[in-house]
């Protein structure tokens, strides 16, 4: 979800890039290019099931467009080494950044199209309401005015995936780890995650417990469940308080550890230990936040060999989550990273991006972060340091939150409250198509674009893709 810390381009001196030029703009990529198929499995967008009355009346997300239906499983597994990060303490003296369990929603291909659907908002919805109020700085009576809306959204809006469905017998693809941004959670990017899953990928979307999300409940292996709402500097004791970016940097270390824990859990499942993993889960019937049947029935034997991890994981994230992936590229054992996709990354908290990387990288930006001159220069330096194929591009007409589910759920509100001019459907198609070209290592219309000679001043035209680092030449033109 969007980061409040990112600074959009404006007239403060950072909204210009030396040598900008808007000559020869790239062609607009049309919505759903049915003549191009980068995955050999992809089909034109379609609905795989009839939408219910609830989905027609209340904000809802469409079914994914790939050849497979999508399933989802929630897992909360105790960490191998519970520990805290950064030395930060809450006002009551407890560690602020404490890793006890890793919580994730795992999206995957299935043959099932009927069954229970996971709520888009965390349960209990009252916690989500309180968390969003904290994240948005909403206080007083306005906080209570927000609650009915959030409660209704929590009750009515569902993830377009069948809970605990059997996994389909597809060709194994690399495991994908997803990291959300500030104010987000494991289901905030459901459209993107389900699109990948419908094309055969298993995607482990982690819910970070670093206080960057609105709310989450932690069910430890020992002790009482505890609620964690969005954390700000005021929630940290004065003795351990750091500047805002200092706390975010500590959160990056915890986020990388959570993603590694998720990868380890998924490796065990892929090796045939799914039943043992499930027996360790603390997100079970009766636990706070649990959604599902009283006795879940999952044939974990079918998960053996359904995804690959031998060459590491594909690390993927948006905003602060993409910054978390950038941090991992600098600090995590390269053997655990096969490739990385960064969606509009926020790099301010990342301590260094100077270490050359040797992994394939795709980075998709929106204009606000591309025209943020100092930030873009740092991003470009990191991307161009890769000795493997890489691509850096900007999607015209997009805004920072366009990569999340929000434009699909609230299209009118997004157009009214932001400068987003690209249609949500066109946006998700572009991001998914670029991702599939990258994941399949088959450059298509997006990855085959040559690099522009300069960064255009105006990148507001909906659907235009401006390439800054070309996949084919792997070198800068600016």
Higher pLDDT, 56 or 293: 293
pLDDT of residue 73 exceeding 80: yes
Which pLDDT score, from 0 to 100, does residue 44 have?
37
Is this structure's pTM higher than 0.95? no
Q: How many residues does the chain have?
A: 478
Higher pLDDT, 232 or 155: 232
Residue 16 belongs to a domain: no
Which pLDDT score, from 0 to 100, does residue 55 have?
57
Lowest mean pLDDT among 79-93, 97-111, 136-150: 136-150
Which pLDDT score, from 0 to 100, does residue 220 have?
97
Residue 22 belongs to a domain: no
Angstrom CA distances, 447 to 115, 200, 245, stand at 38, 21, 33
Which pLDDT score, from 0 to 100, does residue 59 have?
80
pLDDT of residue 477 exceeding 50: no
pLDDT of residue 34 exceeding 50: no
The pLDDT tens digits of the residues spanning 396-451 come to 999 999 999 999 999 999 999 998 999 999 999 999 999 999 999 999 999 999 99
The pLDDT tens digits of the residues spanning 337-385 come to 999 999 999 999 999 999 999 999 999 999 999 999 999 999 999 999 9
Strands (E) across 232-357 are located at 307-308, 313-318, 337-343
Residue 476 belongs to a domain: no
Determine the structural domain holding residue 379 and report its residue range: 53-117+161-469
Residue 45 belongs to a domain: no
Q: Which domain CATH number covers 174? A: 3.40.50.1820
Which pLDDT score, from 0 to 100, does residue 9 have?
37
The pLDDT tens digits of the residues spanning 290-334 come to 999 988 899 999 999 999 999 999 999 999 999 999 999 999 999
Residue 26 belongs to a domain: no
Residue 151 belongs to a domain: no
Lowest mean pLDDT among 34-38, 89-93, 140-144, 270-274: 34-38
Which pLDDT score, from 0 to 100, does residue 141 have?
83
pLDDT of residue 69 exceeding 90: yes
Classified as helix, coil or strand, 99 is: strand
The answer to whether 341 and 435 have CB atoms below 8 angstroms apart is yes
Which pLDDT score, from 0 to 100, does residue 156 have?
87
**Distance in angstroms (rounded) separating the CA atoms of residues 245 and 408:** 31
Split at pLDDT 50, 70, 90, the class of 39 is very low
Higher pLDDT, 110 or 31: 110
The string of DSSP codes covering 153-187 is HHHH-EEEEEETPPBP-PPPEE-EEEE--TT--TT
pLDDT of residue 4 exceeding 90: no
pLDDT of residue 238 exceeding 80: yes
Average pLDDT, the chain: 88
Which pLDDT score, from 0 to 100, does residue 42 have?
38
**Distance in angstroms (rounded) separating the CA atoms of residues 362 and 378:** 15
Angstrom CA distances, 88 to 180, 229, 328, stand at 22, 16, 21
Split at pLDDT 50, 70, 90, the class of 170 is very high
pLDDT of residue 37 exceeding 80: no
**Distance in angstroms (rounded) separating the CA atoms of residues 38 and 40:** 6
Strands, sheet with 176-179, edge to edge from the N-terminal-most edge strand = 117-119, 158-163, 69-84, 98-110, 203-207, 176-179, 313-318, 337-343, 360-365, 390-395, 465-469
Residue 4 belongs to a domain: no
Which pLDDT score, from 0 to 100, does residue 113 have?
87
**Distance in angstroms (rounded) separating the CA atoms of residues 4 and 170:** 40
Share of the chain above pLDDT 90, in %: 77
Residue 299 belongs to a domain: yes
**Distance in angstroms (rounded) separating the CA atoms of residues 426 and 434:** 12
Which pLDDT score, from 0 to 100, does residue 28 have?
63
The pLDDT tens digits of the residues spanning 183-211 come to 999 999 999 999 999 999 999 999 999 99
Number of domains in the chain: 1
Which pLDDT score, from 0 to 100, does residue 49 have?
56
Across 260-287, average pLDDT: 97
Indicate the helix (H) or strand (E) that contains 370. helix 367-370
Indicate the helix (H) or strand (E) that contains 453. none
pLDDT of residue 17 exceeding 70: no
Residue 201, Cβ neighbours under 10 Å: how many?
Answer: 25
Split at pLDDT 50, 70, 90, the class of 45 is very low
Which pLDDT score, from 0 to 100, does residue 29 have?
65
Which pLDDT score, from 0 to 100, does residue 18 have?
32
**Distance in angstroms (rounded) separating the CA atoms of residues 219 and 226:** 7
């Amino acid at each position: 979800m969007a980061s409040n810390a990112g600074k959009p381009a404006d007239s403060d001196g950072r909204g210009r890039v030396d040598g900008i030029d808007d000559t020869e703009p790239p062609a607009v990529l049309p919505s759903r290019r049915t003549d191009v198929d980068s995955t050999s499995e992809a089909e034109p967008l379609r609905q795989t099931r009839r939408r219910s009355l609830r989905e027609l009346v209340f904000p809802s997300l469409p079914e994914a467009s790939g050849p497979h239906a999508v399933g989802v499983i929630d897992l909360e597994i105790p960490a191998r080494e519970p520990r805290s990060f950064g030395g930060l303490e809450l006002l009551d003296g407890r560690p602020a950044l404490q890793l006890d369990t890793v919580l994730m929603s795992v999206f995957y291909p299935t043959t099932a199209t009927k069954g229970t659907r996971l709520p888009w908002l965390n349960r209990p919805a009252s916690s989500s309401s309180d968390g969003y109020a904290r994240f948005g700085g909403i206080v007083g009576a306005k906080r209570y005015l927000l609650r009915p809306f959030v409660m209704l959204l929590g009750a009515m809006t569902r993830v377009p995936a069948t809970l605990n469905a059997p996994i389909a017998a597809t060709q194994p693809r690399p495991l994908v780890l997803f990291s959300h941004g500030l104010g987000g959670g494991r289901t905030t990017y459901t459209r993107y995650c389900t699109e990948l899953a419908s094309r055969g990928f298993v995607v482990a979307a982690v819910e970070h417990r670093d206080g960057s999300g609105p709310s989450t409940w932690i069910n430890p292996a020992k002790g009482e469940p505890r609620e964690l709402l969005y954390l700000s500097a005021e929630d940290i004791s004065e003795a351990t308080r750091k500047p805002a970016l200092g706390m975010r940097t500590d959160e990056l270390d915890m986020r990388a550890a959570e993603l590694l824990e998720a990868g380890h859990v998924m490796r065990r499942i892929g090796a045939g230990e799914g039943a043992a993993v499930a027996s360790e889960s603390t997100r079970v019937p009766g636990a706070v936040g649990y959604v599902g049947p009283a006795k879940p029935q999952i044939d974990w034997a079918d998960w053996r060999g359904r995804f690959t991890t031998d060459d590491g994981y594909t690390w993927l994230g948006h905003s602060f989550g993409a910054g978390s992936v950038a941090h991992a590229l600098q600090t995590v054992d390269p053997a655990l990273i096969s490739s990385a996709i960064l969606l509009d990354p926020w790099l301010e908290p990342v301590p260094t991006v100077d270490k050359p990387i040797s992994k394939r990288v795709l980075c998709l930006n929106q204009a606000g972060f591309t025209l943020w001159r100092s930030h873009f220069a740092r991003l470009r330096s990191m991307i161009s340091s890769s000795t493997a194929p890489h691509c850096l591009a900007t999607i015209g007409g997009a805004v920072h939150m366009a990569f999340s589910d929000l434009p699909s759920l609230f299209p009118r509100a997004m157009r009214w409250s932001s400068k987003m001019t690209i249609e949500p459907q066109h946006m998700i198609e572009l991001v998914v198509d670029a991702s599939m070209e990258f994941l399949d290592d088959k450059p298509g219309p997006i990855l085959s674009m040559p690099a522009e000679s300069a960064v255009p001043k105006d990148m507001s035209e909906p659907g235009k893709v401006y390439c800054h680092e070309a996949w084919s030449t792997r070198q800068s033109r600016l």
